[in-house]
Amino acid sequence: MNQYRLLIDCPDQPGLVYQVSRALFKGGFNVLSNHEFVDAATGHFFMRTEFSGPGDAQAILRALRERLASATLRLSAVERRPVVLLATKEPHCLGDLLLRHAGDELPAEIRAVVSNHAALGPLVEKFGIPFHHVPHDEVSREAHEAAVADAVSPYDPAYLVLAKYMRVLSPGFVERYPQRIINIHHSFLPAFMGARPYHQAHERGVKVIGATAHFVTDELDTGPIICQDVLPIDHSYTTAAMVQAGKDVEKFVLARALRLVLEERVFVHGNRTIVFG
């Protein structure tokens, strides 16, 4: 039996759930789960529905498109999504995703890893995934990014995951993958934006460290937040110990965010996300 997800968002108006549920009912589909949310501040409506049945899902989509002219509608079959990972030198997030992939924990097909350093090649190759080393030295930023794009593009990824990729992507690159690039930032954003957040955190003497997974936008470290978590620390943590603790929370947060995105539980609305967890 085919299984689908329908995502709708539009300005709120009476009867939206009725319209959608009627279309599915009349189309002979069985609703497996429903999530709805109306953002009171902006009056915007969000709905995610999972349904199954032998009927014509595209016909549902067409019918709703007609009736709900102002809505953004997305229909997709429930299936594994192609993903490409970008990384630099740190193995913890990358390795964790490769391990989860190998253990079939993620509804993803990791098609390749692209890195500006060679260091992670052996790790990636252990898992039988293609590894592309695209060095950034002695080339311009533009040329490097073009080479990264060329390495990524043939794999046709639904999502790019920056698993500790330590280069800033240009607006031109980002707009190719709107709301489809996920980054893990090593702090509880918006605290400690920019470089060396653990050094900043150590200096400030914080008692909790965090990590933030977010969509990448044009502006550094300010894209819509998907998922955050923290770990308690104390004065005895050196910067190195904070980095080590940070790795644990980073890999947990990135994996959780990726799962939420792969299961299409995340809407972006302005600079915020609606996450039907």
Helix, strand, coil % over all residues of the chain, rounded to 5: 35, 30, 35
Assess 14 for contact with a second copy (CB under 8 A).
yes
Stretch of 1-9, 57-65, 160-168, 219-227 contacting a second copy, by CB under 8 A? 219-227
Hunting for tokens 């995502």 — which residue is that? 7
Kindly state the smallest distance separating residue 146's Cβ from a second copy, in Å: 31
157 Cβ contact partners less than 8 Å away, ≥ 6 residues apart = 82, 83, 84, 111, 177, 180
Is 36 an interacting residue with respect to a second copy (CB under 8 A)?
yes
Choose, by CB under 8 A, the member of 148, 252, 258, 265 that binds a second copy: 252
Q: Does 263 bind a second copy (CB under 8 A)?
A: no
d(CA 133, CA 118): 6
Minimum CB distance to a second copy smaller for 109 or for 248: 248
Direct distance between the N- and C-terminal alpha carbons of the chain, in angstroms, rounded to an integer: 24
CB 3 → a second copy: shortest distance, Å?
13
Scan residues 90-109 and list those touching a second copy (CB under 8 A). 91-92, 95-96, 99-100, 102-103, 105
Kindly name the residue from 9, 150, 221, 248 that is annotated as catalytic. 221
Would you count residue 224 as binding a second copy (CB under 8 A)?
yes
Q: At which residue do the structure tokens 């300005």 appear?
A: 11
Nearer to a second copy, 95 or 157 (CB): 95
Question: Is residue 5 a contact partner of residue 48, using CB atoms and an 8 Å limit?
Answer: yes
225-229 own/partner pairs: CB under 8 Å, 24+ apart? 225/189, 225/272, 225/273, 226/182, 226/257, 226/260, 226/261, 226/266, 226/273, 226/275, 227/253, 227/256, 227/257, 227/260, 227/275, 228/188, 228/189, 228/253, 229/253, 229/256
Give the list of residues 6+ apart from residue 120 with CB closer than 8 angstroms, or none: 87, 88, 89, 91, 94, 113, 131
Q: Alpha-carbon distance 64 to 20, whole Å?
A: 7
Q: At closest approach, how far in Å is the CB of 193 from a second copy?
A: 10
Identify whether 221 is a catalytic site residue: yes
Size of the site for a second copy (CB under 8 A): 68
Q: Of these, 25, 42, 56, 135, which contacts a second copy (CB under 8 A)?
A: 25
Residue type, 260: L
Among 160, 188, 216, 254, binds a second copy (CB under 8 A): 188
24 near a second copy, judged by CB under 8 A: yes
Nearer to a second copy, 39 or 109 (CB): 39
Residues at the interface with a second copy (CB under 8 A): 14-15, 17-18, 21-22, 24-25, 29-34, 36-41, 91-92, 95-96, 99-100, 102-103, 105, 123, 126-127, 188-192, 203-208, 210, 224-230, 232, 234-236, 238, 244, 247-248, 252, 255-256, 271-275, 277
The residues annotated as belonging to the active site are: 221
